[in-house]
Amino acid sequence: MPRPHAGVLHRVRIGSPPAVCGIDPVAHRCGVVRRARHARRDAHPAARPRALAGAPLDLRTAARFSGGNPMKPRPTLLLYCQHSLGLGHLKRCWALAERLSSEFWVILVSGGAPPGGLAPPKGIDVIELPPLAQDADGEIVVLNGADSLEDVRRERTRLLVQTYLQVRPAVVVIELFPFGRRKFKEELIALLDETRRSPRPIVATSVRDLLVGRGADQQKHDDRARELVDAYFDLVLVHTDPRFATLDETFRPTHRLTKPVCHTGFVVPGAPAGVSIAHGDGILVSGGGGRFAERLYLCAIDAHDRLGSTAPPMTIVAGPLCPDDAYARVREAAGRRQSIDVWRTVADLCEAMRRAAVSVSQCGYNTALDIVRAAVPALVVPFNDNGDSEQTDRAQRLERLNAVRMFRGSLEGGALAEAIRDVMRFSPAPTELDMNGAERTSTMLRVALEEKWRGPFRPASASLEGPPHV
């Protein structure tokens, strides 16, 4: 398997045009605008600079150099994403943003830990809020450790609202909320309150195929989410093939939504895969972002020992969010064995799966779609340590389609080795799932704007003279 390489980001601080323009750079303390670009293969992501305090937030100036093209103005779209446990939400938003950027000036507001070694798509601007994450017990934690949670929440809300007021987007897309992310409701309600003022943008919520169960609180949660959708949003975008799952299977409010629900198809990076498959002879082990996958990795190493001397080589992709101490333990365990490599990230996990004989992984949204596109014999070990049923539900649905094999029982080396032996003899069935969700989402939002304006598609201007909203 080829050696993975990292991507880096070109950072453009808010209000900071390039020095060649003769303008002194200014920056805001926490907001950083970045434009993604491809990087040298040998580059390593640098530490992220912390901006200075006191300077005004000026996204219009930054857009002149990093996102907006004054020769081809586009409507502005603000996309909010908060990834807390893994990377699935962020990677899906990156895939969406990549497609949306052909018709919109996309500003992605990201509230989670920046993933080292991975870069967002070109042609969008990224604003990093002070990062928050969720621990294994479901508690929200501050990642930089310097400020209190209350202070970070207050600063995030201020930055989010200030960003909205300065760019005045034509479209606002909020990932998951109010179907999830209720622990971030203060900053999101503050943003949504601003969207109700004139000029009002199109406001959409963007959700994945399956929602997390809420146990005894399910009905209360669903009813409250329905109230918020009907009060603040114009449409619900559900990124799934309705033949695989529909929103009403995991969301059942007492009263039906009054806003339209659009099943877009699954969202994947780039065009749907249509290449020929020629699998290799290795075992690829992955755990999404990697924050809660150490147990899977160590068990896979033990299973590799139990497969014996004829075991194929194994590559473990630990993930950019795998804690450093966990990553070190996995590398140490693998280092005592032959034929096991451990990488932090790979540029394209789907391509790595195509080159493998077997995939062993969790079953998050993006990993599951990579498995289907790669058509690799796959053993999925759903993450459910926090009582989350989403991955198990997805794995069971894929298994019914004969697309994967699902691991059951206690996760230990002997059982995993036996399951790997079985999946080596497994040939997945062709799965005709709709993977055009990003394209269809872009079309739906464009049509929503056309209907709102009751005329031809009129791109909002991203000029320097005024906010890019009509």
Q: Where are the domains of the chain?
A: 9-271+436-453, 283-424
Q: Which of 37-51, 109-123, 277-291 is the least confident region?
A: 37-51
Mean pLDDT of 400-406: 98
Position 130 pLDDT exceeds 60: yes
Q: Which of 180, 183, 198 is nearest to 467 (CA)?
A: 198
What average pLDDT does the chain have? 82
Window from 83-97, 297-311, 351-365, 448-462 with minimum mean pLDDT: 448-462
Q: Encode 224-257: b = buried (16+ Cβ within 10 Å), e = exposed.
A: ebbebbeebbbbbbbbbbeebbbbeebbebeeeb
Which percentage of the chain shows pLDDT scores above 70? Answer: 78
Q: How far apart are CA 156 and CA 305, in angstroms?
A: 47
- Whether residue 365 is predicted with pLDDT greater than 50 in this model: the reply is yes
Would you call the peptide bond into 178 cis, given omega within 30 degrees of 0 as the criterion? yes
Where does the pLDDT of residue 278 fall: very low under 50, low under 70, confident under 90, or very high at 90 and above?
Answer: low
Q: In the prediction, which pLDDT does 2 show?
A: 41
Given 3.40.109.10, 3.40.50.2000, 2.60.40.420, 3.90.1750.10, which CATH number is that of 9-271+436-453?
Answer: 3.40.50.2000
Tokens of 412: 């230990």
Q: Which residues sit opposite 106 in a β-bridge?
A: 77
Let me know if the fold of 9-271+436-453 is the same as that of 283-424: yes
CB-based contact 184:90 (threshold 8 Å)? no
CB 293 within 8 A of CB 319: yes
> What is the rounded average pLDDT of the residues 320-347?
94
Amino acid 415: pLDDT: 98
Tell me the sheet residues that pair with 171. 77, 202
pLDDT of residue 228: 98
pLDDT at residue 36 tops 80: no
**Is residue 461 over pLDDT 50?**
no
pTM of the model: 0.81
Measure the CA–CA gap between 373 and 53, rounded to whole angstroms. 46
Q: Answer whether residue 3 shows pLDDT above 80.
A: no
Query: Chain-centre distance of CA 151, in angstroms?
Result: 25
Residue with the larger pLDDT of the pair 37 and 149: 149
Q: What is the mean pLDDT of residues 128-132?
A: 93
Answer for the pair 329, 303: CB distance below 8 angstroms, yes or no.
Answer: no
pLDDT of residue 50: 30
User: What confidence category does residue 279 fall into, taking pLDDT thresholds of 50, 70 and 90?
Assistant: low
Convert the pLDDT of each residue in 203-237 to its tens digit: 999 999 999 888 889 999 999 999 999 999 999 99
Which amino acid belongs to residue 86? G
Q: Look at residue 46 and tell me whether its pLDDT is greater than 50.
A: no
The answer to whether 314 and 339 have CB atoms below 8 angstroms apart is yes
Confidence of residue 17 (pLDDT cuts 50, 70, 90): very low
Confidence of residue 24 (pLDDT cuts 50, 70, 90): very low
Q: Check residue 455 and give its pLDDT.
A: 52
pLDDT of residue 271: 52
Least reliable range by pLDDT among 12-16, 160-164, 349-353: 12-16
Q: What is the dihedral of CA 299, 304, 305, 307, to 10 degrees?
A: 130
Q: What is the mean pLDDT of residues 438-458?
A: 83
d(CA 211, CA 390) in angstroms, rounded, equals: 6
* In the block, residue with structure tokens 């943008």: 201
Whole-angstrom distance, CA of residue 142 vs CA of residue 98: 29
Fold of 283-424: Rossmann fold (3.40.50)
- Lowest average pLDDT, out of 30-34, 100-104, 334-338, 440-444, goes to 30-34
